[in-house]
A and B are shown apart, each in its own frame.
Chain A
Amino acid sequence: MTGYAPGAIVLWAICALFILIPLASFLAYSFLPVVDNAIVYEPTLDNFANLFSNSSYRTTFLRTMLLAFEVSVFNFVLGYATAYFIWRRPPAWRNVLVIALAIPLLMSYIIKIYAMRGVLGTNGLLNSALLAFGLADEPVSALLFNLTAVRITLSVVLLPFMVLPICVALERITPQVLQAAADLGASEIQTFRWVILPLSLPGAIVGAMFTFVLASGDFLAPELVGGIEGFTFGRLVFSQFGLAFNWPLGAALSVLLLVVALAVISVARRLSNPRWQT
């Protein structure tokens, strides 16, 4: 079929106007200096020099990347075990369990974060449980308003993003392959090691990378449960658009986030099953 060209031009125009040019202007902003609270339209590398020389930016960035990595690894383990558990259930059970995973995705993100406060707070559920089981003598205040609270909250909130892609990958394994492994005398562990794991790993890696991208750029969870200690890169960026009011520096800081996100996304696309892309 040919002749769709005018439509294609309109679609590309919309993409350019609302996706590509905004991204370009964001990139351009990162090169603009601010003098006396006013943006000067003469590109320099000052913001980036500032970014790399300022040790507090550097530590915040590294701390956030480490945090996102920890959340991804933690969720990878939990998520794989859960997905594998779901996959081993009978089909009817499987559907219910997968739907139960998808439902929280449709719940408001900040509500879920706020709800975690009730679990992690001094009078929260986790403390009550610790006291009830005699694991603590008095409420542990260290559970909320620090980096650990951010870790736990991000893990919980991002878990469905990890489990669902693994479920999809496991679902794609055809029964014949497992049959063949069994016919050739593979033990359950051998089948897992040499058949199931390699076939489902791409899905798991996609999930982990999604988790990483979302965790590294998040500023709502750190803002609401992180307190002063839980200051992350996302919060640093966001503060440039609020109190600090240095938009170009904010743009430069997020260029770093963008580079990380794009690298991770392109690796995820490469690793994901090509069928997903058609």
Chain B
Amino acid sequence: MMRNRFIDLPLAAVAVLVYVSLYLPILLVFLLSFFSMRRGKVNWDTFSLSWYAKLFENDALGGALWNSLLVGSLAVAAAATFATSAAILVRSRPDRHSARLLEYVIFLPFLLPPIITGLSLLIYFREAGVGRGIFTITVGHTLFVSAIIYRIVLTRLNALSRNLVEAAQDLGATRIQTFRFIILPNLRMPLLTGGLLAFALSFDETMITLFLSGTDATLPVRLYAMMRVGFTPTINALITLLLGFSILLTVAVALVWRRNADSARKSYREGRT
């Protein structure tokens, strides 16, 4: 690669600005939560204890956390089933016009502004007489994260050699056997990556959820309500906890992603030879 300092220097300046602006605000929240605790004259030992006590005291937060975890798990399970079926269908006949159309429809809730996905579901459920709650939030999240799982699974299916499927069928495997013994084992890693990623997205989703949650608020919706009222130490504490959780998920996704890439490369090579 050519090196030219007159080009690299201004580029580096912009890049530094970008990375600082991405990370500094988050870092500041960590510090602010730390300082607010200090002002409250809480020392380090009781710091975490009182913090957890406060979280457990707040029933609304506990309920919101439970709702978030419940919705996330249900949405990931539903989206994995739906998106994988769709990916297998599209992969089996990628040239069909209907396959393209199906793909476009699946991407819609992800590509459209969340406000539109949210309010169209709100209107739909109201007209259908379905009350707002865990079910409606789960449907919203399922649609939102399906595109991600679909994308990851389809990429893996495309890397999978068609010879494998044809070989299985030549050996007399039924379609169900082919799926169970050939396709599914190869989808373990992408499903894990996609599932984790989808769970992280669902856990953070706020805009669609605001339309679909009645009294069953998820954690971000609860947090949003608190933020609108003002700054309290609880917000900073809660944010620290949520960020910790997000970082854990990120690390998990990154680790699985690497193994996924390795196994994809391996099977691609196997498919070629």
Q: Is the CB of A156 within 8 A of B15?
A: no
Chain A, range 46-105, C-beta contacts under 8 Å to B: 78-79, 81-82, 84-86, 88, 97, 99-101, 103-104
With contacts A109-B206, A119-B25 taken as known, whether A100 is within 8 angstroms of B116 at the C-beta atoms is: no
B170-206 vs A, CB cutoff 8 Å, 1 = contact: the mask equals: 0000010000000000000000000001001101101
* Most A Cβ at <10 Å: residue of B32, B201, B250: B250
Using Cβ atoms and an 8 Å threshold, which residues of chain A touch B206? 108-110, 220
Q: Which residue of A lies closest to B154 (CB)?
A: A278
User: Is B17 an interface position by the 8 A CB rule?
Assistant: yes
User: Is A22 an interface position by the 8 A CB rule?
Assistant: yes
A104-129 vs B, CB cutoff 8 Å, 1 = contact: the mask equals: 10111111101110110000010000
Q: How far is B107's CA from A261's CA once the two chains are assembled, in angstroms?
A: 13
Q: How many pairs, one residue from A and one from B, have CB atoms within 8 Å of each other in the complex?
A: 209
User: Is A11 an interface position by the 8 A CB rule?
Assistant: yes
Q: Is the CB of B143 within 8 A of A18?
A: yes
Q: Is the CB of A111 within 8 A of B29?
A: yes
Q: In the complex, which of the residues B14, B28, B111, B203 contacts A85, with contact meaning CB atoms closer than 8 Å?
A: B14
User: Is A145 an interface position by the 8 A CB rule?
Assistant: no
**Listed stretches B50-58, B122-130, B262-270; interface member:** B122-130
Q: Is the CB of A115 within 8 A of B25?
A: yes
Q: In the complex, which of the residues B82, B103, B119 contacts A14, with contact meaning CB atoms closer than 8 Å?
A: B82
Q: How far is B220's CA from A18's CA once the two chains are assembled, in angstroms?
A: 23
User: Is A8 an interface position by the 8 A CB rule?
Assistant: yes
Q: How far is B23's CA from A151's CA once the two chains are assembled, in angstroms?
A: 18
Q: Is the CB of A216 within 8 A of B22?
A: no
Q: Is the CB of B115 within 8 A of A118?
A: no
Chain B, range 217-248, C-beta contacts under 8 Å to A: 220, 223-224, 227-228, 235, 239, 242-243, 246-247
Q: How many residues of A contact B (CB 8 A)?
A: 77
B96-126 vs A, CB cutoff 8 Å, 1 = contact: the mask equals: 0010001101101101111110011111101
Q: How far is B239's CA from A109's CA once the two chains are assembled, in angstroms?
A: 11
Q: How many residues of B contact A (CB 8 A)?
A: 80
User: Is A267 an interface position by the 8 A CB rule?
Assistant: no
Q: Which residue of A lies closest to B105 (CB)?
A: A15
Q: Is the CB of A107 within 8 A of B246?
A: yes
**Listed stretches B5-13, B40-48, B69-77; interface member:** B5-13
Q: With both chains docked as a complex, state the minimum distance between the C-beta of B141 and any C-beta of chain A, in angstroms.
A: 12
Q: Which 10 A-B pairs have the closest CB atoms?
A: A217-B113, A26-B120, A115-B25, A22-B124, A85-B11, A81-B14, A108-B204, A22-B120, A85-B15, A118-B28
Some 29 contacts from A to B, beta carbons below 8 A apart, are: A11-B86, A11-B102, A18-B139, A18-B142, A20-B105, A25-B124, A25-B127, A79-B18, A81-B10, A82-B11, A85-B8, A104-B22, A106-B249, A108-B206, A109-B220, A110-B206, A110-B223, A110-B227, A188-B4, A188-B7, A218-B207, A219-B115, A238-B210, A251-B119, A257-B113, A261-B111, A261-B112, A277-B103, A278-B158
